[in-house]
Structure 1
């Protein structure tokens, strides 16, 4: 009898222990803070406490306690390792490392699913190729026979391979592609130890902004769609679908906030990551270099499919992931529905974050967005908008004469609409009309067409364009 009571007591204790364990749900999230277009799936949610706002508290979650854990990574590979090891439940990364995440889970007898896009470009902007500031190279075509470094198995690697193929080159013979992490490449560019470097967000813009590189190729030239998004352990999502949906509600809220006040939250990202607000705004501000977009457009699905195929080609995986089961949009659809948003409408929306502004000089509404030029003046919380580069440069000269300093100037490529850091752009001057271009060759072609003159940023700033 005594033994029986002892066994019953142990059973009760075990049952109570299991119930207690079930009352605490871990939400372990891996972020990539310095990959700034992941901000709405990590950094902003964490810094603003948005996840706590949306975690379920009713029904079977009524008495639950949440153990929210955040861990930051500089790339997708170590984040994937910890997801596969069961140390993380959710993580954000690009299409290439995301596909590797799916393959790594499958190899371990597990499954992860790609639940949302966070930000991307259906054309491929975000990835890019830079050269040292003093280099004479102006285009990818001039890099034949040269060494180009790139983080291997990254989305930038895929872009580079596609760009090389488009040149008609053999990537094994016509160029020397070596692996190099962005933090190493920055130093190598400064010391002229590499001839070119291909990279993902935000480094193809960050290095030029810091003054030791020039961007000579944008991923959109390779016509290779790219994205960053969030993945979740499939078993975790099956067990706690409402928690996964809550994470996505928090991400949608982060998107709403940064859309409303891009300068403010660009400053917050800068404070956390050390990546200058001017670069953050280039991506997250109106008409940004990439588009924050939570819908699985066909181009983004294709980007994941292409990355799976390329990873197999690179012998980084032998797993044949089925993109249709790997991408699961049911959770983001549920989040949209809860938020009162129209997912189907977003699927059809390819517009960038719109800009409704008046010219800071004339006060008139800005209508021609390819002529839009913006100034971010030191000490001013908001970016100034100008309807033309001519007006913006005239105002810049006045500001500097008055002793004020410029943080940065933004322009837009006249052909593609691509948002540019004006300091490294090329300009065609024809009378009072000034057109901006990323590539010198494009500027020269336009100058011949309109009988204009090609000048650089410093020349225009000094008022010496005539």
Structure 2
């Protein structure tokens, strides 16, 4: 009997010793809301636990899931290279830094998925203080522009300045400044302009301290946020990497179905207002959530690697081998999704809604608008800007307020915050929205109209029968 008990104890002890604990250490950027489907939502909704493998070689393992939040990609990369993190999410430009840093350390990381981005380039931008007279990037010659160094916004700024025929090294003074420092500096007029990444340009606009004068779509350089993994970790635990991507796919599905609900969750977790989160994640959003490696995103990565050279940080990093789409393809297959079909699809999350006043389905999206009324769980949608602003007047007359009013730039097809946009009204009384005043002026001239600010557009809507 004693011998049997001893044998049983020995076997149990041997099993316990052999049972493996697998660390899954994930670096997130919660306030960089385009990383939400690769971090915040997975963590808060405990989606990773649903998909971690528990059969075959993983039958008896236990998982040590660790989460660590960062405000930018550079410190996240430092911890990945130091083997303190296995997976991390960041934008194309800091992602290039990540790959270069791994190579410098004699290691390798791989970009495994896109999370959200813009094949047009929107998402990064430049703002000036709200009351500044500066209306265009070209007017910043000889002035100081702050930006978080080594960020995707930094890469965009260098290209944008060059696109104006200016030398980034000589014609402007570019200094480093984190978003949390730039906000108060803009409010106090201590800086002349600031470039930043998702969502800070629009966040500063929404909070009334800045006005966007330039969007990355104008330089036409695709940009994205995505997830990377240590190459050694991916080789050792490929099924765990696929499980992480299955969780990202589910997070993407959930926010697509209920963007207002999960925009609220992001606000609760980060303090980034739900109205700004919805600007990105809602229908026809400023950027598109997309987990496939479109040619434009591969191009963005190559451009980011080339930008490293502009900063004197050359690296043997090769975009073609840095991207490894095997894991996301496997995750799509497990989820019953068609990767090739999604790869070929460039459409934004569609708007399927009826006009909030007329009740008819919205079919033309060039001049659509939206209002998120305080206390309402869903955004109201409108087929025209004048229709939305007329309804806004009634909402405010009824003693209610709007959390946000949205319009769309007629040229770049990007969603804008209405109070800081420019407008042109044509001879028929139809309103069109623009990011830049000069674009509104050109349209007004061509259509026998006039240029308006938000107050002027409201007056037109009020006077429209």
- Aligned partner of 1:354 in structure 2 is 350
From 138, 141, 164, give the equivalent of 1:144: 141
d(CA) in 2 for partners of 1:407, 1:86: 43
d(CA) in 2 for partners of 1:432, 1:264: 35
- Aligned partner of 2:318 in structure 1 is 322
d(CA) in 2 for partners of 1:388, 1:111: 51
- Aligned partner of 1:400 in structure 2 is 396
Q: Secondary structure at the residue paired with 1:414?
A: coil
d(CA) in 2 for partners of 1:18, 1:444: 75
1:4-403 mapped onto 2 (5 Å cutoff): 20=17, 22-315=19-312, 317-403=313-399
Relative to structure 1, is the Cα distance of residues 182 and 21 closer, same or farther in structure 2, using a 3 angstrom cutoff?
Answer: farther
d(CA) in 1 for partners of 2:212, 2:309: 29
User: Contact conserved, 2:409 with 2:416, CA < 8 A, in 1?
Assistant: yes
User: Contact conserved, 1:410 with 1:421, CA < 8 A, in 2?
Assistant: yes
TM-score if structure 2 supplies the norm length? 0.95
Could you give the per-residue CA deviations for residues 162-193 of structure 1, whole angstroms, max 9, x where no partner exists?
11111111112211111111111111100101
d(CA) in 2 for partners of 1:22, 1:178: 51
- Aligned partner of 1:4 in structure 2 is none
Relative to structure 1, is the Cα distance of residues 100 and 21 closer, same or farther in structure 2, using a 3 angstrom cutoff?
Answer: farther
Report the RMSD for the aligned CA atoms in angstroms. Answer: 1.6
User: Contact conserved, 2:429 with 2:460, CA < 8 A, in 1?
Assistant: no
d(CA) in 2 for partners of 1:416, 1:103: 33
Q: Secondary structure at the residue paired with 1:368?
A: coil
Relative to structure 1, is the Cα distance of residues 460 and 111 closer, same or farther in structure 2, using a 3 angstrom cutoff?
Answer: same
Pairing 1:452–2:449 present: yes
d(CA) in 1 for partners of 2:460, 2:71: 42
d(CA) in 1 for partners of 2:429, 2:443: 15
Gaps of 5+ in 1: 1-12
TM-score if structure 1 supplies the norm length? 0.95
Q: Secondary structure at the residue paired with 1:282?
A: helix
1:402-441 mapped onto 2 (5 Å cutoff): 402-430=398-426, 431-441=428-438
Displacement of 1:22: 4.9
Displacement of 1:58: 0.9
Displacement of 1:123: 1.1
Q: Secondary structure at the residue paired with 1:408?
A: strand
Displacement of 1:306: 1.2
Q: Return structure 1 stretches of 4+ with deviation > 6 angstroms.
A: 15-19
Q: Secondary structure at the residue paired with 2:286?
A: coil
Displacement of 1:21: 6.2
d(CA) in 2 for partners of 1:414, 1:299: 22
User: Contact conserved, 1:397 with 1:462, CA < 8 A, in 2?
Assistant: no
d(CA) in 1 for partners of 2:319, 2:295: 12
Could you give the per-residue CA deviations for residues 86-109 of structure 1, whole angstroms, max 9, x where no partner exists?
111000001111111111111111
